[in-house]
Structure 1
Amino acid sequence: MMKLTRITVKNPFLLLVLFLLLTLLSFLAEKAYIRNRVPDMEMAEFQEILLEKEQAMDILLNRVAAELEHTGWDAWIGEYGEEVEKKLQGEGFTLLLYRNDSLIYWSDNNIPLPWEWSQELFSRPFLELDNSFHLGLYRESEPYRLVGMILIKYRYPYQNEFLRNEFQEDYGLPSWIRVMGPDEPGRQAFPVRDLSGNVVFYLTGLAPPSDAAPPFSVPGFLYLITFLSLLFFLASWFRIMPDRKRYFTGWLFSVLFLTCLKELLRFLAVPQLVYRMELFSPLLYAGTGPWASLGDLVIFAVISFFLVYLLYSGITRFHITLPERKNLQWITGIFLYALAGGWFLFVEYLFRSLIIHSSISFELHRLLDLSVNTFLALMVVGLLFFSAFLILDGIFSAGIKPAGQKKLQMMALAGITLSFLLTGWFTGFLQVVQIIIFFYLFNALLIWFRNHHRKGWKYSFLTLLVLLFSLLALYNIVFFNTEKEKNVRKVLAVNLATEHDAVAEVLLEEMGEKLESDTILAGLLGKSVFSPMEVDSIFEYLQTEYFSGFWEQYYLEITICDEQSELEILDRDTVRNCYAFFDEMLEMIGEALPRSNFWFLNDPNGRTTYFGRFSYPVNPDMINTLFIRLDSRLTYTHLGYPELLLDNRFEKSTRLERYSWARYIHNRLITQSGDFPYSLSLDVYNPPEEEFSFLHFDGYSHLIYRIDPDKQIIISTHDLRGIDLLIDASYLFVYFFLWMNIILLMINIPGIFRNIRLTFKTRIQTAMVGILFMALVLIGGGAVYYSIRQYRAKHNEMIREKIQSVYVVLDHELAYESFLDPGWSRGQYVNLNDLLVRYSNVFYTDINLYSPDGKLLATSRPEIFDEGLTGRRIDNQAYRELRWNRKAEFVHRENIGEMSFLSAYVPFTNAENQLLAYLNLPYFTKQISLSREISLLVVAIVNISFLLLILTIFLAVLISNKITDPLRMIQRKFSRLKLGRSYEKISYEGEDEIGELVHEYNRMVTELARSVEKLARSERESAWREMARQVAHEIKNPLTPMKLSIQQVKRAYEDRAPGWEENFQRFTRTMIEQIENLSAIANAFSHFAQMPTSSFEPVNMVEKVWNIAELFGNTENVEIRVDVHGLSEAMVVADKEQMLRVLTNLVKNAIQAIPEDRPGRVGIDLTLEGKRVIIAVSDNGKGIPDELGEKLFVPNFTTKSSGMGLGLAIVRNIVSNTGGSIHYETRVGEGTTFYVELPVYHPENQSSGKESPRGKIP
């Protein structure tokens, strides 16, 4: 007994249940994440790791103590020192060795530690140092004291890109957790114990700060999956919508529901964890309204694309068309195209806003400036623009049938122009005109494509669409980015005009507190009268202790006054009270710096000037006031300030690094910075009179800011090069091309990948691209590796040359010294620091001097050591190589925080070859610029390699097309080669393998033409013989009894036999039966050529399919499977009896084709594709051999033992008369599928009496 089954769509409401469960799970996960402290498990793991480190350090200390006792210090450092240092690396371990309470060995020079044993510091295990927290372990082995230090967490005085207050990486704890000493546990503190069980310190602040931007955590991932599950549920729900009314009602509900849900969540900032992410921060993108942040834009873009795609699917699925009435048709068409144009311009507006009002970089050729946010923003724009294209195609699909192509183009022209004109009226016509060109181009491309392909999409067309969109995106990026960059330059120019120095101001803020509490300075100022020498001493003290290093770029001037002091004003030739004069100056041009006793003086003299005021009591009745004035040096080029010393709060001041700039006063160059060589006179550039003007020359874009007629500032940047545009276009095309494929895979547009085959051309392209890609990767990788290696070697050589140059000049100053100490002075040099600062500015590098025992003697950059960023000891590895291994030079990489830099060392000796110090050149001041140069070199190589890769893919396509063109030509000729048609030869001039193939083809065509002619003649003769035989056979059967009956009647009549009348009656009945039999035979042979008169009417093929399924449903050993894809009706115009005959014949043939030894399966599948109803009848029978395929629809041909072979011929005639077609697919041994395609009947397009395919509808 056969089972009748119906294939149905899976229940989409299971996705609704999944969505609700994920919502609940995400909510609970978020609550747990926000409220939860650092889990106890993580704290227990921290405790366990610390105990393991303590145990390892304890073993190491015992071992070192035993080795020292056995070998002594000198032998130990040579035999075991290097081995011990390798064990300490990467573990956060530091080993100190004191002999007779003096430090003689240190494994890490980054920790500020005392040279002499400090009982106060080392009396307890918890060590709170200037830049870090440690757990200390101690051993004594006279005369040695060993200290093993286990790093817990860094604690720098400020943080930046290189200095981060984080835990040692093995612990895995977040940086917001604070470390507190054992005497100050605080609230909700976690006690940390040592191996003895004693509490050594506490961890507090275990909960994340409320204002911290959370990372993309598990709750965030769950919310993302929840959002996607909601969209999948809605998509599945729409797939089972049975009619257009429910579909579009549901679509409107979805628009309302998703819009309200999005806005409600945005208004409430829920989920809290999601809306606290950086993606929703106004610092990243500051939009307005529903698009206030990049995160809001991402959600909006995904929802918009989803809703537009659902609308587009409904239009094509239910064949929605414009109204039939012409006036209403015009109004609707123009309105829809105006709406599409408005959407396109809205997307343009969002794109512009994304570029101008965000900190996101869109310059794709600057790979180092890109981030994930760049690609998210481009994804938003891509989804919205593709939505606009779907809207255009939906309008075209709805209007092409009732309106026609020409009328539709006129509607598009009117509607789009109306939309753009209205928008241009309010927003600026120029940009709208530029965008309208792209929009018309997209629309023209769509119309051209739809004229050739009414159904589906071609992959090549979508690729062309992506290319055009990439060019549009590039145009927008260049246009809006230029606008944004010009605005940025204007802001920078205004900031430069104020002559503030952000680095100086942060240093003055820190310096103010030190000056107020400096007891030495207070002692120097504690007099009522000062001699010139005493004033000079105060000046030298200030310059040495406070205004060295960075402050070399400023002139220092001091004035000391009390309340009664008078000042002689030379330029005015007057005498003024000191306090009154300075108070008046500060009131007029002073601008107080926050949290400081310094002022910025807004004095338009081309200099940056700061003024400080500090009071020191002399006695209860007298106070001396120190006035400090700092004026920047004109046209002064200084070493600069290392990024290592800049707080995160002042990183924005580094934006000028990308630019060159100059300041002019009275048309004369005062100061300049950057790569561009400015002229000494501004007149050379002939600047306009406007406040802001832009000029282009020498490959640069220059902004000239006219502060007043006497003061101008120029800020310059490189012009955008053609190669940069080409690289940007390539990256955009590849990015959007990848997104196109992702979208196609997600929505599974039918036919996109169906015809993708690994053809000969594809194999050639794949092989060529693969080989070239590998070659480019290897060459590019090798070029990057070799370039970096050469670059580093070059800088190693440069630092070696520079340290030798510094050595020479220092040798000139110190060659005859027998001993060096920090108090050294001579002539114009106040001390060693002053000497190193002077030569540091000459050689544009920092300089350190270390004593023979490794102590810091002097430095040109005292801030590094004063801030506690590193210790005042020489690097341990350098010290070992120079002192113990006697090397004349040593260069290696050192680290401060996360900054890695080159550092060179040489022994510095006097004229008698006596070691005075170790000379060190740390390259950390220029390290960032050097790293940036290497990075830019790598980016350039990557960009060029990528460009070459795109070029090779393009060439591979061209070359493979050229190679395979002859083969495709041969393939086309073969595909057109059919029996009974003219046979066209191929013209090919080449004398290669393809030429030989063409020659053989032409020869085969000639032979085939002759063979076909013979075959046709033979088949015609054979067909007539076979037809005659079958007709004679079928007619002969009734003729024989007819002849006998006639002979019998004749004899009976002649013999006048009794019962004549009765015999005659029997004879006439027999003759009538035989004549009817002959008539039936004649009718059967004529049915295939001419069908009986048909009665055409609308027929629901869904009902007919189910009727046939029920009719054959009881066939033994056969299962009938029906799939109508959720359709309740599929109307065609036909004769319902003939449709039953077609289905009956096909199903009956399918059943008879199944061998008796296998379970039968017959499938009837009905689908609607565009304007066609397709019915597929399949079986799992024996299939049809190739040699029988061409004869299958030939009358009188049959593969069965009975019947006259007219069934399929009649079926083809019925289908053909109905305006349809029939074909089949077969696999020998597996089965056959017959496809019947019939035109769909649309009631709104038919009227009473309208002509049907072969007659009239009654």
Structure 2
Amino acid sequence: MKYWRKYLLLIFSVLIFLAASIEEHHALSPEPEKELIQAFQQTLLKQQYNISVYLNSIERQITNTIPSANYATTFSKLNKLFDTEGFGFIIMKDQEMVYWSSNHFSFPNISSRLSGKEGIVVLPNGTYAFQKRLLNHYQIIGLIHLRNDYSYENQFLVNNFVKPFRLPPDFEINTQKDKNSYAIHNLTNRYLFSVVPTGAMRFNNAELYFTAFLYLLGLVFLLLALYRKMDDYHEESFGVKMIILTGILFVIYWIHILFGIPAILNHLELFSAKYYAVTQWLPSLGDFFLLTTLLFFWSLVFVKEFVLHGRARKLMIIPCFLFAGTLYQVVGGLISNLISNSNITYKLNRITDIDQYSISSHLAIALLLFSIFMINLKILEKTEHLINKRTFLSFHLVAVPVSILLCIIFNTPPFYLLALFLCVNLLQVQIRKMHITRFSLSYSILFVSLFSVVSLMVVYKTIDQREIQVQKLMAVNLSSEQDPVAEIFLTNMQEQFNTDSIIPSLLAPPYEDLENYLNRNYFDGYFRKYDIQYTFCTATDAVMIHPENVSEPCFPYFDKMIVRSGTRIPGSNFYFMNNMEGRVSYLGKLHYPLARDSRGLSVFITMTSKTISEGIGFPELLMDRSLIKPFRYKYLSYAKYFDDELVNRSGEYTYNYYLQSYNIDHLKSEFELRKWNGYDHLIYQFDDKTCIIVSNRSLRFVDYLISFPYIFVFYFLVVLLLTLIGNPKLRKLMIPRDLRFRIQVAIISVVLISLLMVAAGTIYYNVKEYQNRHQTDLLEKMNSISVEIDSRLNTVNAISPELRQWLFEELYKLSNIFRTDINIYDVKGEIIASSRPEIFRKGITSERMNAQAF
């Protein structure tokens, strides 16, 4: 029995790895989606039954009570079902929509898209299963939300299956049967649609995370078995043991990297190059964390097995301390490498930006620092009786201030790690004179505080270096004077221009209707940041050139401009005009044939970015994920100067209008970093006339003060957890059983509970206060906007098309003033005008008013 007990951990490890491999094989098998689609079928049948119950209730209510014209009040209880259960309802009376439970799906002419009494309907923002009932003059439509299908994706709009349906987002819904699809049926076993399994991931997240957890658990048991196995080799020298252990750990990591085992990890974002990558040996954040875990295990074995014996042990003192000091530098290099080559946020003074990947990175840093601390402590313990304490103390009393002075002078991570190494040595030797017991609570707090301070300095200094590179990258990108977002939109618009049947009908002087049409349907939204000028030309027309007041033939003039400085945007008839004026400029050419003129008419569209960006910007909700600026640019501000005058700016920093006010006439290099007004300003002058300044808020002392409690608590909890789990002896030292300790625990518990109650009350109060203030702010804005609109429309009796166009422009101006989006609806709940018509045009939501508000 004793023999088998020795291998119990190894057996557990093998069994867990076996279970994980079975789960992985099941998940990655040729048809792993069968169970998922069967579950989807059962869920749909349940949803169909539930919605039929609601439809029966609506039928009875219409038949028995004959609701008044206010259908919104009569059926208001249905309004919340779309958010809670995924059910939507529409009531049509004589082909007029009189009730809708949500404006998410209440698009115009939806009834014409529904063929039969049951099926699926594809709307601009999603796919729905529907049931339709006919009752006298009424059509009652019930919708089951299956998945979101937007025309683009971003952090707010994601194309996926909604709850309670659990299918991978890459799976598609098709109305046609196919050999590679799975048929879905209704309650009467009639065919509805097919689900097509596409994409690399054909299993749900729960199966993915469970399999990954099993592999992690198997690795933990394998390492524990290896840790226990070391006890069987007492006679082997310490050096041989550590070399063999290093070889074993290297083989584990090598097999994982070279053969990609386990393969299921490739489906985790943690093990992708999305957040961190350096080389083939460190291709992801997950691999960095795995390497950190193996190094931590190596340090545990080092602490357990390290001994100095024999006559030459005194000769090993200096090499041991050199080895410990080198480890500090290696760990510092790993930390700097992690931060420099990742796009993860590490700043704890912006706690709202912290996510699970930031926490994983800080945990890896904590394990690395704890590893070298344990090794350093073990070396001090084994050499304590071999060194001359007075000489050791004298050396460190000189070395510590010198290292701190070097940190101040050079301000680089290697010197911070050197100072940390020397401070640990000094404090450990002097710990008894400070009346602090080893491994006590006070001992832990002392060293955790020290490591927290130094790690903050190392992390934030590396972040500073990384952000300078980001500022340089942004400055170079800005110097191109191109707008990639506008170019994507122009490319997408070209197909609409080619198929638009309204534009040819408006090709008649004085072209005001055509200008209004183009502004309203094409060049609003994002293009409001541009000054747009239209020139309408036939082959015989001429244009007046200002300020020379020279007349030139229209077609040759624009053709020369394109040849001289135009670069065509692929897939469109628009050109980037490289005028080198500090402003982004595009020229578009749309040509249409005319019955009266065989050579036709051309519309030349000149777009020039406004001198200083106006308004509140274009919301990320309306932009595809690929067009949104990376997170690393989130807190950066920039200004572009041409001929010493500001032509464009963005961000929270307020720049001077004239560049000369900054006294930067003589720059020593292409990039120059200067500080003023609490910001780090990177100045990039790439030609004689154009200068770009990219600014980032400097780290202040208060930022370190804000960050320290977070990092201290995090490190302390990690150390406490690892110590309590891994070392029973230290557990007894850290948690004594005497009366003094119990009194301390009682006092700390009372204070902690009191603080938690105060904190909870404060958070609740702040949240309620914020909600009330936000509601009050909205009401004040609503009243102000209402007064503005009333004063401008007090003489208007009807809404004409011209007035609607005017309203669109006015609402955009008011939205910039009040910094909020504004929609105007009629008494039937239909949109009249909006400051953001793109939301409705892109099909994010319908043009109906929110049902609850209506």
Task: Work out whether the TM-score is over 0.5.
Answer: yes
- Shift of the alpha carbon at 1:487? 2.1
What is the Cα deviation at residue 630 of structure 1? 0.9
Q: Does the alignment pair 1:149 with 2:143?
A: yes
Aligned amino acid, residue 26 of structure 1: A
Shift, 1:502, TM fit: 4.5
Residue of structure 2 in register with 1:1147 after alignment: none
Matched, 1:203 2:195: yes
The CA distance in 1 between the partners of 2:730 and 2:92, in whole Å, is: 80
| 2:592 equivalent in structure 1 | 616
Q: String of CA shifts for 1:11-49, please: whole Å, max 9, x gaps.
A: 433333333333333222212112264554443332233
CA shift, 1:134, in A, is: 1.7
Alignment of 1:263-662 (within 5 A): 263-288=254-279, 290-316=281-307, 319-321=308-310, 323=312, 330=315, 332-397=316-381, 399-400=383-384, 404-405=388-389, 432-449=414-431, 460-525=442-507, 531=509, 533-534=510-511, 536-561=512-537, 569-570=545-546, 578=554, 581-618=557-594, 622-652=599-629, 656-662=633-639
Report the equivalent of 1:81: 75
Contact 1:97-1:145 at 8 Å conserved across structures: yes
Contact 2:583/2:647, CA 8 A, preserved across alignment: no
CA distance, structure 2, for counterparts of residue 148 and residue 60 of structure 1: 8
Match of 1:739 in 2: 718
Pairing partner for 1:105 from 99, 122, 130: 99
Whole-angstrom CA distance in 2 between matches of 1:45 and 1:762: 55
Structure 2: runs of 5+ lacking an equivalent: none
- Deviation string 1:1132-1169 (CA, Å, 9 cap, x unpaired) is xxxxxxxxxxxxxxxxxxxxxxxxxxxxxxxxxxxxxx
Task: Return the letter of the residue paired with 2:97.
Answer: L
8 A contact 1:663–1:713 mirrored in 2: yes
What is the identity, as a one-letter code, of the residue corresponding to 1:661? Y
Question: Is structure 2 residue 84 aligned with structure 1 residue 90?
Answer: yes
- For residues 156 and 786 of structure 2, the distance between their equivalents in structure 1, rounded to whole angstroms, comes to 30
Q: Where in structure 2 are the equivalents of 1:1176-1215 lying within 5 Å?
A: none
- CA deviation string 1:1171-1211 (max 9, x = no partner): xxxxxxxxxxxxxxxxxxxxxxxxxxxxxxxxxxxxxxxxx
Judging changes above 3 Å, is the alpha-carbon distance between structure 1 residues 410 and 241 closer, same or farther for their aligned structure 2 residues? farther
Report deviation, 1:90.
Answer: 1.9
Matched residue, 1:168: 162
Q: Secondary structure at the match of 2:456?
A: helix
SS at match of 2:334: helix
The 2-side partners of 1:458 and 1:763 are apart by 14
Structure number with greater Rg is: 1
Q: Matched residues in 1 for 2:378 and 2:113: separation? A: 84
Shift of 1:119: 7.0
**Cα gap change, 1:509 to 1:312, in 2 (>3 Å):** same
Q: Is the 8 A contact 1:37 1:208 kept in 2?
A: no
Aligned partners of 2:396, 2:260: CA distance in 1, in Å? 41
- Residue 852 (structure 2) aligns with: 877
Name the CA shift for 1:587/1:355 in 2 (closer, same or farther; >3 Å).
farther
Which deviations, in whole Å up to 9, do the C-alpha atoms of 1:912-967 show, x marking residues without a partner?
xxxxxxxxxxxxxxxxxxxxxxxxxxxxxxxxxxxxxxxxxxxxxxxxxxxxxxxx
Cα drift, residue 878 of structure 1: 2.2
CA distance in 2, matches of 1:577, 1:300: 70
2:726, 2:566 → 1: CA distance? Answer: 66
Moved more, 126-135 or 838-847: 838-847
- The AA in structure 2 aligned to 1:543 is N
* Range with bigger deviation, 738-747 or 868-877: 738-747
- Residue by residue over 1:1065-1118, the C-alpha shift from the partner in whole angstroms, topping out at 9 and shown as x without a partner, is xxxxxxxxxxxxxxxxxxxxxxxxxxxxxxxxxxxxxxxxxxxxxxxxxxxxxx
Deviation at 1:352, TM superposition (A): 0.9
Match of 2:65 in 1: 71
Distance 2:54 2:715 in 1: 58
Q: Which residue of 2 aligns with 1:254?
A: 245
Output the CA distance in 1 between the equivalents of 2:260 and 2:541. Answer: 63
Residue 157 of structure 1: how far off its partner (Å): 0.9
Whichever residue aligns with residue 496 of structure 1, its letter is L
- For 2:477 and 2:609, how far apart are their aligned partners in 1? 16
Check whether the contact 2:103–2:850 (CA below 8 A) recurs between aligned residues.
Answer: yes
Map 1:213-224 to 2 at 5 A: 217-224=209-216
| Residues in 2 aligned to 1:650 and 1:141: alpha-carbon distance in whole angstroms | 48
State the shift of 1:109 in Å: 1.4
Q: CA deviation at 1:474?
A: 1.0
User: What is the CA-CA distance between 1:258 and the residue it aligns to?
Assistant: 1.6
Equivalent-residue separation in structure 2 for 1:550 and 1:475 (angstroms): 41
SS of structure 1 residue aligned to 2:193: strand
Match of 1:862 in 2: 837
Conserved in 2, the CA contact under 8 Å of 1:103 and 1:117?
A: no
Task: Note if 1:844 corresponds to 2:828.
Answer: no
Classify 1:749/1:468 alpha carbon distance in 2 versus 1 (closer, same or farther; 3 Å).
farther
TM-score, normalised on structure 1?
0.62
Deviation at 1:657, TM superposition (A): 4.3
One-letter identity of the residue aligned with 1:19: S
Give the whole-Å Cα distance in 1 for the aligned partners of 2:562 and 2:73: 66
RMSD: 3.7
Instruction: Summarize the alignment of residues 881-892 of structure 1 with structure 2, pairs less than 5 Å apart.
Output: none
Alpha carbons of 1:28 and 1:597: their partners in 2 closer, same or farther (altered >3 Å)?
farther
Q: State the match for 2:667 in structure 1.
A: 689
Q: Shift of the alpha carbon at 1:609? A: 1.7
SS of 2:702's equivalent?
Answer: helix
Q: Which amino acid aligns with 1:288?
A: T
SS in 2 for 1:173: coil
Q: Give the secondary structure class of the aligned counterpart of 2:719.
A: helix
Identity, % of aligned positions = 27
Q: Which amino acid aligns with 2:147?
A: K
Distance 2:336 2:213 in 1: 30
Instruction: Please list the CA deviations of residues 282-311 of structure 1 after superposition, one character each: whole Å capped at 9, or x if unmatched.
Output: 221122353343222222222222223323
Distance 1:834 1:299, change over 3 A: closer
CA–CA separation in structure 2 for the residues paired with 1:217 and 1:698: 47
Measure the CA separation in 1 of the matches of 2:51 and 2:813: 44
* Structure 2 residue 4 is matched with structure 1 residue 13: no
Separation (CA, whole Å) in 2 of partners of 1:685 and 1:561? 46
Cα distance in 2 between the residues matched to 1:411 and 1:787:
53
Question: Which residue of structure 2 lines up, in the alignment, with residue 236 of structure 1?
Answer: 228
Alpha-carbon distance, 1:179 to partner: 1.1
Amino acid paired to 2:794: A
Aligned pair count reads 847
Tell me, in whole angstroms, the C-alpha distance in 2 between the residues paired with 1:542 and 1:487: 41
Cα displacement string for residues 541-572 of structure 1 (whole angstroms, at most 9, x for unaligned residues): 21122122433322111234567766554456
Tell me how far apart the structure 1 counterparts of residues 195 and 514 of structure 2 sit (CA, whole Å). 46
Structure 1 residue 266, shift from structure 2 partner: 0.5
Q: Distance in 2 between matches of 1:505 and 1:215?
A: 41
User: Following TM superposition, by how much is the alpha carbon of 1:682 offset from its aligned partner in structure 2, in angstroms?
Assistant: 3.1
Contact 2:440–2:734, Cα closer than 8 Å, also in 1: no
Report what 1:729 is aligned to: 708
Instruction: Note closer, same or farther for the CA distance 1:756–1:333 as it changes in structure 2 (3 Å cut).
Output: closer
Q: Are 2:146 and 2:161, in contact at CA under 8 Å, matched by a contact in 1?
A: yes
Inter-partner Cα distance in structure 2 for 1:877 and 1:63: 20
1:227 match: 219
Give the Cα separation in 1 of the matches to 2:565 and 2:169: 43
Does 1:772 pair with 2:766? no
